[in-house]
Structure 1
Amino acid sequence: MNETPMTPEQLAEIRDRAEAATPGPWGAYEFGGGLVEIAADLKETGCGYTARRGIARFEEEPLDNDPAHREWTAEEDWDQVQADAEFTAHARQDVPALAAEVARLRADNAEWEAARDAYYASEQHLTREVERLRAELDTLRALVADATEYRVLLPDLGGKELRVRRQGPGFGAGWAVSEPQYGGGRAWTREGWQEVISALSVDRLFCWPDAPTAIREGRAALAEAGERS
């Protein structure tokens, strides 16, 4: 069996031969005495048949020149003649149907291949986008690591603002959080609100381990103060 895919040209040639053949349907009629005829638009009449056109005739004793072929019995020979006749008669409908099915499957395969290619292209695009976002995230993390001060607006708390500052290099790694106010401000420490920031020691002012903690604590303190007022 040839496993090489059929080319579009070969498929077109098959369709051309099928279209050039006598239009179907074809039928098979068995005569007594070991004869089968294939004809187009065959209709049995009870004492023979009528047809638009005769196609082929099968004899009970076909020529067999294969020396390796064993001698068949008359029954086996007649069975083979009938099988060949049925195959030939049905080929008129089967060949165009198979050609159409091949074309349909190839069209489906082309759609699947297009969808697969689009998927892989999308996947590659997403991979590049993830790599780009990771690079941006690394850059942002580096900027955050170098940041020494944040200003955090709190719209949900009436537009209040928190100012978060990191302790100066060489002095420690603590963070302070304060609420700027006209003429100064107040700091939130582990001891509560301190109204005079300048009077606080470094350890008391920069008492939070990192910026997220300082922001979280300051926000909670402002929210609690708002509930009390």
Structure 2
Amino acid sequence: MSDTTTRIAAIRAREQAATPSHWGTHYDGNGTYYISAGLRPTPAGTVCDAVVAEVHGEHGDSQTYRDARFIADAREDIAFLLDRVAELEAALAATHHTSQP
């Protein structure tokens, strides 16, 4: 198994082990963003299935927001990219297989 194949398998294992569901961010108004799974609004306020992580900064710090969004979006981005890598590897293998004499 190549180093790349091993690394992709390890990334896939971490992705599969992470808390399932869509991840979103919720700001507490004091500089902390919560990355939560299953975040959804209700008439009584925002609720979630689980808090995955917290990112702390200063109130009004836009970098903290960008970092929190990156972490939250990574849940779906990583799965998408891994699926795309698998798709491209399969296409390459099929092309390689059909071009062999």
Pair in the same fold by TM > 0.5: yes
Q: Equivalent of 2:72, from 89, 101, 111?
A: 89
Structure with higher RCO (Cα < 8 A, 6+ apart): 2
Q: Which runs of 5 or more residues in structure 2 are unaligned?
A: none
Q: Equivalent of 1:24, from 14, 17, 21?
A: 21
**Structure 1 residue identity aligned to 2:47:** T
- 2:39 is the counterpart of 1:42: yes
Q: SS of 2:21's equivalent?
A: coil
Q: SS of 1:7's equivalent?
A: helix
* TM-score after normalising by structure 2: 0.87
- 2:39 is the counterpart of 1:12: no
**Structure 2 residue identity aligned to 1:91:** A
Q: Distance in 2 between matches of 1:46 and 1:56?
A: 24
Q: Which runs of 5 or more residues in structure 1 are unaligned?
A: 62-73, 122-229
Q: Distance in 2 between matches of 1:56 and 1:46?
A: 24
The two structures, once aligned, show a CA RMSD in angstroms of 2.0
Aligned identity (percent) is 34
Report Cα offsets for 1:75-125 as digits up to 9, x if no partner.
5xx1111111111101111111111110110000111112222xxx2xxxx
Report runs of 4+ in structure 1 exceeding 6 Å deviation: none
Report Cα offsets for 1:7-45 as digits up to 9, x if no partner.
222111111111111102111011212121111101134
**Structure 1 residue identity aligned to 2:17:** A
**Who is 2:62 aligned against?**
79
Q: SS of 1:57's equivalent?
A: strand
Equivalent residue pairs, number: 100
